[in-house]
Amino acid sequence: MSEGLSVHNANVSYGRRQIVHDLSLPTLPHGSLTALIGPNGAGKSTLLRAVAGLEKMHGVVRLDDLDLSAMSVAERARRVTYMPQNLPPGLSLSVMESVIAALRVTPVDGLPLSNDACLREAFEALQRIGITHLADQWLNTLSGGQRQLVSLAQLIARRPQVMLLDEPTSALDLNYQLKVMECVRGLVREHNLIAVVVLHDINLAARFADHIAVLRQGRLYASGAANEVLNPLLFAEVYRVRARIERCSEQSLQVLVDGAF
């Protein structure tokens, strides 16, 4: 059996409307970062939520030899964390308190931490993302981008095996977009984690992801390395734009969009 996260024949519906259609992903190995891309309404959030166990799904999600759908919510949440696209409104907690609270809800490795250890882990998460200056600020006074960064800190502090991040960079400035992607890729490599990240910025996806999975109308349109997957036909069929894919002077892939159809 292959090691990693696998999704087989996922079907997800809201009421009678089917959103995800018999979707299977190639096994996503430990230590890899997958970008999930596709147009608005393609079913990216629905798929991630189903993998996290937050939507009812027909199909199988496995992590190594474990069937995630057979696990209790708490057991599953220890292994798989999900950062939603629309964050809940901030509570009256400081940033530091909110990260500590996240650690208490889902302790690292399932074991409760001492107060000192909680503080240390929470601070380290803020440090990794570069937001220690926000530690004492109230959650409900943060900007959208700052909320996104804190939400990511809450998630990484819990050291999940699988991180499902739904558009974690959508409200971030250029500096933090790169910092966040570097942080996620760093954690993935250091701790052999599995990350699936929904991104709209294809250049960011091409730069940071090991695999790109492309969703269209609830079905897997393509999956593979950026240079295998990204081509003008995909942009025409999936995004309805004319695009060129070129190598820049530093040899990284760049997508240049020339117009909409």
Interface residues toward Mg ion, by CB under 5 A: 44-45, 85
Q: Which of 221, 196, 195 is nearest to 21 (CA)?
A: 221
Q: Give Cα separations from 112 to 79, 101, 105, 106, 180 (angstroms).
A: 15, 12, 9, 8, 27
Determine the residue with CB nearest Mg ion. 45
Pick one of Mg ion, ligand ADP, none as the site partner of residue 42 (Cβ within 5 to 8 A by kind): ligand ADP
Pick one of ligand ADP, Mg ion, none as the site partner of residue 154 (Cβ within 5 to 8 A by kind): none
**Of 47 and 100, CB closest to Mg ion:** 47
Site membership for ligand ADP, residue 45 (CB under 6 A): yes
Q: Which of 5, 7, 10, 19 binds ligand ADP (CB under 6 A)?
A: 19
Distance CA 61, CA 68 (A): 6
Q: Which of 46, 81, 146, 223 binds ligand ADP (CB under 6 A)?
A: 46
Using an 8 Å Cβ cutoff, are 195 and 208 in contact? no
Site membership for ligand ADP, residue 40 (CB under 6 A): yes
Phi then psi dihedrals of residue 139, to 5 deg: -55, -40
Pick one of Mg ion, ligand ADP, none as the site partner of residue 110 (Cβ within 5 to 8 A by kind): none
Distance CA 212, CA 255 (A): 14
Site membership for ligand ADP, residue 168 (CB under 6 A): no
**Of 122 and 196, CB closest to ligand ADP:** 196
Determine how β-strand 211-216 pairs with β-strand 219-224.
antiparallel
Distance CA 186, CA 56 (A): 32
Site membership for ligand ADP, residue 10 (CB under 6 A): no
Q: Give Cα separations from 13 to 10, 17, 50, 130, 149 (angstroms).
A: 10, 5, 10, 39, 31
Q: The tokens of 154 are what?
A: 């809450």
Segment near ligand ADP (CB under 6 A), from 38-46, 98-106, 179-187, 243-251?
Answer: 38-46
Q: Which of 7, 28, 37, 42 binds ligand ADP (CB under 6 A)?
A: 42
**Of 100 and 204, CB closest to ligand ADP:** 204
Contacts with ligand ADP, residue ranges (CB under 6 A): 14, 19, 38, 40-46
